[in-house]
Structure 1
Amino acid sequence: MPITFSPMANSEQDSRDLVEFLTSNRFPFHVRARHSEESARESVASGRFWSEESLGYWINDGASRIGLVVLEDLDEDTPMFDLRLAEEFRGKGLGPKVLTALCAKVFEQFPEPVRFEGQTREDNIAMRKTFLRTGFLKEAHYRLGWPTAEGPRVASVAYAILRQDWESKDTTSFEWDDLPA
């Protein structure tokens, strides 16, 4: 089944669905791994899922709602995203399929982006491999850049795909150590 995205609306139904989704799933690689009903309601009320700077979408695989994604910084030339799959759909190989469809959505629907970026924790190996499998290139490794609920900070790793690379299905690389000391 193809991955599709249904836009979220600032409605009672989507607000209820968001609170239910956020409270019924754990997100171990996000800054807030578990939402209480109160924190989920606050997140929804903040406008994070529908504002001038961000748009939320439900992710569908056929008739199944498998998660959500928030596109952020859409008013800039490098939007970012927050992707959350429901627990029951993780580990099934859907990540690359979702991210490939998401790139198509961003580059086909929005003319401004020249790059599309995402970040994850250094220990989120599944997401890091998903980035690489879908043509993203690691561009930054921010040491101790991600606070965790467990206590110690971990590195934040940034990946991006260029519009030109998405169009050509090629990856423009660069030299990490381009400036000797």
Structure 2
Amino acid sequence: MTYPDTVPSIALSRLAPRGADRDRLLSFLTSNVFPFHVTSQRTAEEVAASIDEGAFENDETRSFWLDHADLGTIGLVRLEDLEDPTPLLDLRLAEEFRGRGLGAEALREVTRHVFAHFEEVTRFEGQTREDNIAMRRTFVRCGWVKEAHYRESWPVEGGAPLASVAYAILRRDWESGTTTPVPWNEMGL
């Protein structure tokens, strides 16, 4: 899908987690709270271990800074399962940039990047907690379709599990600018 009258103000910059970006990644992930992730705040030791284990860069995972033309780095995105036709998204905005509508612009640019650079990808998926209304609205605003509602499947620190809600966009929908609905009642139930 193209947006002919707009030039994206967000660009993706490949992240070198085990190299030049290690300290910056450590700082970003430990200085921001991510309340809708399984672990909302991580220690430097936890982040360092996940970097060393390849959580941000391996055969199936790539990570990118989200660089805004006017604001600088506003967040990061991790793309997982890139050897599959359906990779997964982990999008994190820095606290100071949340609530400004930048999530939609970031998601559009990440989606464009995935479909432009990974020809084998036919479907792109992301999941969030049921109470992350801002991200759920962002998915819908960007043409993604709700495909699943996994009840009590998202662990919550110090609380009962919540539902995980899955959204995806098909390459053909992205290319045509359409949205293919999920056939929820295909058996007449």
1:131 aligns with 2:139: yes
Give the Cα separation in 2 of the matches to 1:149 and 1:45: 24
1:88-127 alignment to 2 at 5 Å?
88-127=96-135
Residue 72 of structure 1 and its aligned partner are, at CA, apart by 0.5
1:144 aligns with 2:152: yes
1:121 partner amino acid: R
Residue 46 of structure 1 and its aligned partner are, at CA, apart by 1.4
1:1-181 alignment to 2 at 5 Å?
2-62=9-69, 64-180=72-188
**Deviations 1:48-84 (Å, cap 9, x if unpaired)?**
1111010000110115000010000100000111010
Give the Cα separation in 1 of the matches to 2:52 and 2:44: 12
SS at match of 1:60: strand
**RMSD, aligned α-carbons:** 1.2
Residue 10 of structure 1 and its aligned partner are, at CA, apart by 4.2
Residue 174 of structure 1 and its aligned partner are, at CA, apart by 2.7
Distance 1:10-1:25 versus aligned 2 partners, 3 A rule: closer
Residue ranges of structure 1 left out of the alignment (5+ in a row): none
Residue 91 of structure 1 and its aligned partner are, at CA, apart by 0.3
1:177 partner amino acid: N
Seq. identity, %: 51
- How many residue pairs get aligned? The number is 181
Query: 2:5 aligns to what?
Result: none
Give the Cα separation in 2 of the matches to 1:169 and 1:144: 33
Give the Cα separation in 2 of the matches to 1:131 and 1:12: 32
SS at match of 1:13: coil
Residue 115 of structure 1 and its aligned partner are, at CA, apart by 0.3
Residue 12 of structure 1 and its aligned partner are, at CA, apart by 3.8
1:80 partner amino acid: L
**Deviations 1:89-111 (Å, cap 9, x if unpaired)?**
00000011001111100000110
Instruction: Return the TM-score normalized by structure 1.
Output: 0.96
Q: Find runs of 4+ consecutive structure 1 residues off by over 6 angstroms.
A: none
Give the Cα separation in 1 of the matches to 2:152 and 2:185: 21
